[in-house]
């Protein structure tokens, strides 16, 4: 347990989270103060060594350290926090739940993560987070996890026939015993089967953040949806940094207690009920008009503003460059070759930065699994829900497209979902907190939210997620979005394309950048309205 944790705080019954600081600046805190002092230095760059007082006797070094800490506290209290963004820390995290990752670590833009994939790696079904339960609740929780993990293994096997059928439709002429084919079938089967696994399933990952983000983590670690796990893991991260740079203590604010967080106080004041939650879900779903992602707002003059911005880059009047030509300059890969590059350089291009000015807002409904993919696009931010408050009372889930192909599997999947929610209900009757009961929610549980983006970052997202190799839900949501933008802004929407289509138009070879992972379909020859897939 973290040194920053109170001795009385509860601990998980499962394997303790492991946090290791694997990479960091040598003198991160001194560097932050050095960057601040450099702003006002008439003698050039101030180094971390100068701030530290390297080479001075003990008395003078102590004096230097006091000045350093005083300055750090001064700029921190004044809100001048950019100095704290220079130093970064890379952590290796193990034995942390998917719920924690979705609700906290990946819910903001200022991080980088590389985590084990549930799509491509068979899940170790013995690695599940178990909150600090007692008595009968322990057995109910354990029985539910055993049921969910066995269902995952069983579904993986049952799905192989469906996957094989779709796979060999795409890759005609391949021998059914081909090792590559069998590996692909196994991965796709387990990708869909994982929808029945609990969000308590463990993950391991590298996670890199700045010193400023770590301070924010610690201050807000006791927010919805997993405050205990968040407090434990973030406490360990802070401990690791304090071992390296104890000076951070001078600006480390204590976490806000859960009951004092704005979200907790508001949730308490609303006194929502099962009936109101159901009404919300029905109202939200009706507003989607049958789509996974519905365009609900956009820049009315998005096309005209984009054209004006392109002209501004080159200092041209409308008489010299029409709106149509200007939009094409920015978005047609045959003209703007940056769009066919492997490296995304859009933010660094004067021309492509014009895409920042057009904005789109979507209302979306994805599964926890699908949204865990969607939220990794940090520059298309969303306002995600307090999950435990909205989804515990009755089954509320998304059905994977592949499952829909077989009525028997649809029935079985529904039975798995019903039993899962029945078990969650048992825990709640045993007065288990919603926080702990929500760890049993399946990956299939519905997540409803609103997401907004500027065109530049949405264009990049679609370039990645309109690819037929993208996760099924985020692919379908991206198709929905691109189609609606075509209807609203046709001169913009026609250029929202997958990477192979962009590369084909730019003359970049090979057209498909996936190499051995080629999806088997010549997508660059298809129109968006022809996009269709089951796997």
506: enclosing H helix or E strand:
helix 499-506
The model's pTM is 0.95
- Give the span between the Cα atoms of 506 and 95, in whole angstroms: 44
Residue 1 has pLDDT above 70, yes or no: no
CA distances from 387 to 225, 226, 295, 398, 436 (A): 7, 10, 23, 15, 12
- Give the span between the Cα atoms of 398 and 284, in whole angstroms: 15
Q: What is the mean pLDDT of residues 303-319?
A: 98
CA distances from 228 to 101, 389, 508 (A): 13, 16, 50
Give the per-residue pLDDT at 2: 59
Give the per-residue pLDDT at 8: 52
Query: CB atoms < 10 A from the CB of 528, how many?
Result: 17
Beta-carbon contacts of residue 515 (< 8 Å; ≥ 6 apart): none
What's the pLDDT tens digit per position in 112-127? 999 999 888 999 989 9
Confidence band for 224, pLDDT divided at 50, 70 and 90: very high
Confidence band for 3, pLDDT divided at 50, 70 and 90: low
Angle at 78 between CA 76 and CA 80, to 5 degrees: 65
Q: For residue 295, which of 467, 442, 94, 486 has the smallest C-alpha distance?
A: 486
The region that residue 317 occupies, defined by phi over 0 for left and psi between -120 and 50 for alpha, beta otherwise, is beta
Residue 356 has pLDDT above 60, yes or no: yes
- Give the span between the Cα atoms of 534 and 167, in whole angstroms: 10
- Give the span between the Cα atoms of 360 and 373, in whole angstroms: 19
Give the per-residue pLDDT at 120: 86
Among positive and negative, which fits the CA dihedral 459, 464, 468, 474? negative
What's the pLDDT tens digit per position in 52-75? 988 888 899 999 999 999 999 999
* Domain range annotation of the chain: 136-200+392-439, 298-364+448-530
């Amino acid at each position: 347990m973290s040194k920053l944790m109170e001795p009385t705080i509860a601990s998980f019954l499962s394997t303790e989270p492991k946090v290791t600081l694997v990479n960091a600046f040598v003198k991160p805190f001194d560097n932050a103060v050095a960057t601040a002092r450099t702003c006002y230095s008439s003698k050039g760059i101030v180094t971390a060594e100068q701030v530290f007082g390297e080479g001075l006797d003990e008395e003078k070094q102590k004096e230097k350290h006091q000045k350093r800490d005083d300055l750090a506290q001064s700029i921190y209290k004044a809100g001048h926090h950019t100095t704290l963004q220079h130093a970064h820390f890379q952590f290796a995290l193990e034995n942390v739940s998917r719920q924690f990752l979705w609700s906290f670590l990946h819910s903001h833009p200022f991080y980088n993560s590389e985590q084990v994939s549930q799509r491509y790696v068979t899940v170790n079904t013995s690695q599940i987070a178990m909150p600090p339960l007692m008595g009968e609740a322990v057995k109910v929780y354990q029985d539910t996890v055993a049921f969910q993990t066995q269902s995952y293994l069983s579904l993986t096997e049952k799905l192989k026939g469906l996957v094989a059928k779709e796979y060999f439709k795409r890759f005609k002429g391949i021998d059914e015993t081909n090792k590559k084919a069998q590996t692909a079938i196994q991965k796709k089967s387990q990708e869909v089967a994982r929808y029945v696994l609990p969000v308590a399933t463990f993950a391991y990952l590298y996670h890199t953040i700045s010193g400023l983000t770590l301070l924010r983590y610690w201050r807000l670690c006791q927010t919805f949806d997993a405050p205990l796990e968040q407090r434990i893991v973030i406490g360990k991260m802070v401990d690791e940094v304090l071992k390296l740079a104890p000076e951070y203590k001078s600006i480390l604010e204590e976490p806000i207690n859960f009951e004092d967080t704005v979200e907790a106080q508001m949730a308490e004041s609303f006194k929502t009920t099962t009936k109101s939650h159901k009404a919300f879900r029905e109202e939200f779903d009706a507003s989607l008009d049958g789509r996974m992602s519905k365009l609900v707002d956009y820049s009315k003059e998005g096309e005209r503003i984009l054209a004006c911005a392109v002209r501004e880059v080159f200092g041209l009047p409308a008489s010299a460059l029409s709106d149509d030509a200007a939009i094409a300059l920015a978005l047609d890969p045959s003209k703007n070759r940056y769009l066919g590059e492997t490296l995304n350089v859009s933010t660094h291009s004067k021309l492509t930065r014009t895409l920042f000015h057009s904005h789109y807002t979507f209302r979306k409904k994805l599964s926890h699994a699908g949204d865990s993919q969607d939220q990794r696009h940090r520059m298309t931010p969303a306002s995600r829900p307090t999950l435990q408050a909205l989804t515990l009372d009755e089954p509320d889930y998304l059905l994977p497209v592949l499952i829909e192909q077989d009525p028997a599997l649809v029935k079985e999947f529904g039975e798995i979902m019903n039993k899962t929610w029945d078990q969650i209900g048992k825990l709640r009757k045993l007065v288990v907190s919603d926080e702990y009961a929500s760890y049993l929610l399946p990956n299939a549980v519905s997540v409803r939210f609103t997401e907004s983006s500027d065109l530049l970052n949405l264009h990049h997202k679609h370039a990645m997620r309109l690819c037929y190799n993208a996760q099924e839900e985020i692919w379908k949501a991206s198709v929905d979005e691109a189609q609606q933008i075509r209807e609203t802004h046709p001169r913009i929407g026609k250029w929202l394309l997958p990477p192979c289509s962009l590369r084909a138009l730019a003359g970049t070879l090979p057209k498909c950048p996936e190499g051995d992972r080629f999806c088997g379909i010549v997508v660059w020859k298809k129109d968006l309205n022809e996009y269709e897939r089951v796997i």
